[in-house]
Amino acid sequence: MKILVSHTASLPNVAPSGTASQSTTLSDSARAWNAIDGKSDPVYYHGSCTHTAHDQSDPWWRLLLPGIYRITAVSVTNRDELAERINNAEIRIGNSAENNGNNNPRCAVIPSIPAAQTATFQCGGMEGRFVNVYLPGAAKVLTLCEVEVYGAASLPNVAPSGTASQSTTLSDSARAWKAIDGNSDPVYYHGSCTHTAHDQSDPWWRLLLPGIYRITAVSVTNRDELAERINNAEIRIGNSAENNGNNNPRCAVIPSIPAAQTATFQCGGMEGRFVNVYLPGAAKVLTLCEVEVYGGTVRRL
């Protein structure tokens, strides 16, 4: 039995558009993406459920959506046996990658779900690009046979409509436009990340939008190795081309982003057509595997 409310049914399940991961994986047949494969078969041994390693502390499952979404409800299908394992799991939604997204605001606590059943939890339009199912405690196992996330994009990613440039380019496979190609693959050697020349002073990456935009948030995906290189980079937004746009007002400082992870920084509706990632200091290297800019047009130029 699936419990759905009327307004949820009118919104799409956006989960299949995202990327799933989990804290650990028991076997190849229990990978994170099984929870968004469109099959709600609750029989674990049919191979359409996730499963973390046995006796893990604080296991989690995470969905990274392709943008910031306003989420009204989340449905979870439990397995047919050992149904009590899901008891007291938490659904968390937000834009922070801190603690793998498990520190984001809580939509609901799952007290229990009967074996082989689906329960729907209302989230009241919470906004975020991370949707986590987090099971706090020692010696836990998290198994999900399907997760459906009902909602709609809050604001579009406008970055692909702009033109990217950077201070220097290490090679043809590391050009500035790689950060807005829609491919957030964090493995640098797969060829979808930017890279400035080695040991440059004050390297920067810049997006020139086709008009003046009101920008609510910027998401940055870091590379899989040498993740510390991005530490203390600044996101700057405005309309001035002075100093290649790096003198515009600051939205945020990036203290760090874990390797191969995405972090989202709130910009509160700052206006501008330049969005820069600027890394002040000597002997620096700037690498970005994806930059997403969420906002709406104020005026086209």
> Tens digits of per-residue pLDDT, 84-112?
999 999 999 998 888 999 999 999 999 99
Contact 51, 43 (CB under 8 A): no
Domains of the chain: 15-153 (2.60.120.260), 159-297 (2.60.120.260)
77: pLDDT strictly greater than 90 = yes
pLDDT band at 155 (very low <50, low <70, confident <90, very high): confident
Tell me the CA end-to-end span of the chain in Å, nearest whole number: 53
Helices (H), 59-171: none
> Tens digits of per-residue pLDDT, 219-269?
999 999 999 999 999 999 999 999 999 999 999 999 999 999 888 898 999
pLDDT band at 10 (very low <50, low <70, confident <90, very high): low
30: pLDDT strictly greater than 80 = yes
> Tens digits of per-residue pLDDT, 119-153?
999 999 999 989 999 999 999 999 999 999 999 98
Q: What is the 3-state secondary structure (H, E, C) of 244-289?
A: HHCCCCEEEEECCCCCCCEEEEEEEEEEEEEEEEECCCCCECCCCC
Q: Note the pLDDT of residue 98.
A: 84
Angle ∠(69,70,71) on CA atoms, nearest 5? 100
